[in-house]
Structure 1
Amino acid sequence: MTFLRTISRSAPRAAARLTSASTAVRTTRLSLAAVRPSTCSVASCLRSANLTRTSVSAFSSAATRQSPANTEVDSELSSKLASEIQFETEIRENEPEATSVKDFLESGLFEIEDVPGREEVVLRRTYGNEKISVTFSVADLANFDPEIYDDDAALADEDMEGGSGARKAEDAGAEGEEDLENESASVPCRLSIVIEKPGQGALSVEATAQDGGLVVDNLYYYKDAAHAHEPSADAAHAAQQVYPGPAFGSLDEDLQVLLDRYLEERGITQALAVFVPDYLDAKEQREYLGFLNNLKNFVDA
């Protein structure tokens, strides 16, 4: 509707400009035709035509400079943004802080680094002579597609069990199927964990927090700690040329268990796995509210 109104408003103006231009052209032609060669030199005719073109150009420039800065669309957009801001603010005020977030932050185990406007959040702590950092991003929430995730999980089950997953689904009762349909997909949150020792390099751990559990996907060792952090393009390129070790799942099962316990002693626990998704959910709401406010300020300026 706004687009149609804009067209309806702009159409008379465009028609008026075309009419004015046509009238000016006809006036110029009549003036030139009415002047006799004996009484008007060629130079004077050209000067007259130049004056006409100059006046039309000046009128066009003046009309452009006098165009309104804020239109009806701007006003409607600003009002809509104000409504969205009020709605999101009320949600934020009425939803208490998650217990998992409150308890984890009050424990003081990690210091949190969360800069407004940035996607990544970093947890930092020291453990003996080790420096430990855990990085996760709100982008995991924005990019999560539950349909794609469910399809991938179903395909993985079929590959692992030789299709038995499909047969189990067919044999399940009506009550079980209804529970699965009503259950919302949980967002998998990726964690980048770095454990660094002075002069000894670093361990780089890729893990996933989901459904209150923490799963280690990969664990690598780098002699140069900069390769684990990858702060620059050069360091990232150099890290790709280093053999960091095999995939975590291919290690001996007992070794995997001991490495899990090693991480738990350093605070990489189930409490962290519960905290991360809840904290990212609250951060995403804060960032979205900030986005709306920034957008409204820009439109209103």
Structure 2
Amino acid sequence: MLSIRSLTRSAPRQLGRLSAAAARQTSAARPTTLLRTTSSLNSIGRVQRVSAFSTSVFRRAAAGETDEELSAKLDSEIQFEEEVKQNEQLPASVKDFLDNSPFEIEDVPGKEDVKLVRKFGDEKISIVFSIADLANYDPEMYEQDRALEDEDDLDTASSTNKQQSGASPAEEAEEEQDYDEAAPPTRLTIVVEKPGRSPGALNIDAVAQDGAIVVENLFYYEDAALANPATPADAQRRADVYPGPPFGSLDEDLQILLERYLEERGITQALAVFAPDYVDVKEQREYMRWLNNVKTFVDA
């Protein structure tokens, strides 16, 4: 789930956007007479600006009057993050997956992408996901989409659970809160290769959300290089290839068998829970790294 720190950091940004929007609206609402007044006083404005010119302004600006204040603010942010980190534990889903999963993790500091790699018999399986999903995540849109998709099923299940369990209002409220705090969806790019046995590769586009893996597309490329294009030329070649139909248009029995095929290779519920939680962990690490880098630069 999104950490308290992420929500706290986003608040001033939203206020800034609102302030900027209000400023634009105020500017747009000014009467056109102001433009005429500005035009008529243009020559006076030029005289005033010229008379106010002084090299001392540039000397003061070159000294960096805000550097010390900015550095202090960055330092307070770093201290805040350190204090929160001391009171936080690695999510159980992350620890369990790293300890028990057959996948090896490749996480390079400063990079947005995270890569999981494993061997399955003669196959090589890689999964890539990114913390960029957090930057592109719109909680309101996601909640609206999820509510539209799950409203009927959720009401039915909730009614059944209440009748069977006799849950108290407090327990029901806690369950609803847990549902609302679900981690944002994380996109997964899964590639299955057979080095030495086949030149091709399967490319699966999936989403880890609400504790499940949702397959969106399962493509096949005759050249494995197209599944992970490393050059603009490969990306162009990939764009010209017909990779297959959307997953949802396939026969239902075929979809089920393909999902079981992926489960055997570790594309399971454990991964669905791990990926969004690890994205949150990595985002916090990268934010801390960013704070320290910016402070080091300002102080240099």
Fold conserved between structures, TM > 0.5: yes
Task: Provide the C-alpha distance between the structure 1 equivalents of 2:257 and 2:148, rounded to a whole number of angstroms.
Answer: 30
Equivalent residue for 2:260?
261
Tell me, yes or no, if the aligned pair for 1:227 and 1:238 is still in contact at 8 Å. yes
Opposite residue 136 of structure 1, the aligned amino acid is F
Q: 1:150 to 1:133 in 2, by over 3 A?
A: same
Note the C-alpha offset of 1:105: 1.0
Q: Within 5 Å, which residues of 2 pair with 1:189-204?
A: 189-198=186-195, 199-204=198-203
CA distance in 1, matches of 2:259, 2:287: 35
Residue 232 of structure 1 pairs with residue 225 of structure 2: no
Contact 1:221 1:245 in 2 (8 A): yes
Aligned residue in 1 for 2:285: 286
Q: Is the 8 A contact 2:183 2:276 kept in 1?
A: no
1:153-164 equivalent positions in 2, closer than 5 A? 153-154=146-147
Contact 2:183 2:277 in 1 (8 A): no
- Normalising to structure 2: TM-score of the pair? 0.70
Partner of residue 211, structure 1? 210
Inter-partner Cα distance in structure 1 for 2:183 and 2:87: 23
**For structure 2, which runs of at least 5 residues remain unmatched after alignment?**
1-47, 163-168
Q: Does 1:145 align with 2:131?
A: no
Q: Report the CA distance shift for 1:259/1:94 in structure 2 as closer, same or farther (over 3 A).
A: same
Aligned ranges for residues 1-301 of structure 1 at < 5 Å? Answer: 67=60, 69-154=62-147, 183-198=180-195, 199-301=198-300
Q: Computing the radius of gyration over CA atoms, which structure comes out larger, 1 or 2?
A: 1
For residues 178 and 238 of structure 1, the distance between their equivalents in structure 2, rounded to whole angstroms, comes to 51
Structure 1 position 111, deviation (Å): 1.1
Q: Number of aligned pairs?
A: 239
CA displacement 1:87-126 (0-9 Å, x = unmatched): 0111112101111111111125111111111100000111
Counterpart secondary structure, 2:215: strand
Report how far residue 299 of structure 1 moved. Answer: 1.2
2:51 and 2:291 mapped to 1: Cα distance?
Answer: 41
Aligned to 1:254, the other structure's residue is in SS state helix
Partners of 2:78 and 2:262 lie apart in 1 by 41
Q: Match for residue 35 of structure 2? A: none
For CA contacts below 8 A with separation 6 or more, give which structure has more relative contact order: 2
Structure-1 separation of matches of 2:124 and 2:174 = 47
In the alignment, is the contact (CA less than 8 A) between 1:146 and 1:185 conserved in 2? no
The alpha-carbon distance between structure 1 residues 246 and 66, as it changes in their structure 2 partners (threshold 3 A), is closer
Q: Corresponding residue for 1:46?
A: none
1:297 and 1:228 mapped to 2: Cα distance?
39
Distance in 2 between residues matched to 1:186 and 1:65, nearest whole Å: 49
Identical positions, percent: 57
Contact 2:185 2:209 in 1 (8 A): yes
How far apart are the structure 2 equivalents of 1:68 and 1:220?
A: 57
Shift, 1:79, TM fit: 0.7
C-alpha displacement of 1:184: 2.9
Which letter does structure 1 place at the counterpart of 2:202? L
Q: What TM-score comes out, normalization by structure 1 length?
A: 0.70
CA contact (8 A) 2:213 2:272 kept: yes
Unaligned 5+ segments in structure 1 are 1-14, 22-58, 159-163
CA gap 1:209/1:108 in 2 versus in 1, 3 angstroms: closer
